[in-house]
Amino acid sequence: MTHDSPSLYLHHDPAAHRFSVRLDGHEAELLYSLRNGRMVIDHTGVPEAIGGRGVAALLVRAALDHARSQGWRVVPACSYSAAYVQRHPEYADLVDAA
């Protein structure tokens, strides 16, 4: 899956339960686990060099959209993903408490 920018590449590795983005030679990631049909977003990390460009939001949105397509509920366990779902009520129907 690619994004508008030619230097941005979003990848999902289902076996590793990982979404990643490469941008300008740096890699950001979102790690999740699957527990009882729920995607638990455990970690979102963006290197400082590419921070402030919406990369974390792109990762969380991709994870949430994937969860929706799989019929999974979501537990936003990391602080960024929790803040993201609070700011984006269109994902409220997916969210379970931790």
| Mean of per-residue pLDDT scores for the chain | 91
Whole-prediction pTM value? 0.90
- Could you give the domains of the chain? 8-94 (3.40.630.30)
**pLDDT band for position 21 (50/70/90)?**
very high
Secondary structure of residue 53 in the 3-state scheme: coil
Report the alpha-carbon distance of residue 73 to residue 48 in Å, rounded.
30
pLDDT score recorded for residue 9: 85
pLDDT, tens digit, 9 for 90 and up, residues 31-69: 999 999 899 999 999 999 999 999 999 999 999 999 999
Q: Which amino acid makes up residue 32?
A: Y
Share of the chain above pLDDT 70, in %: 92
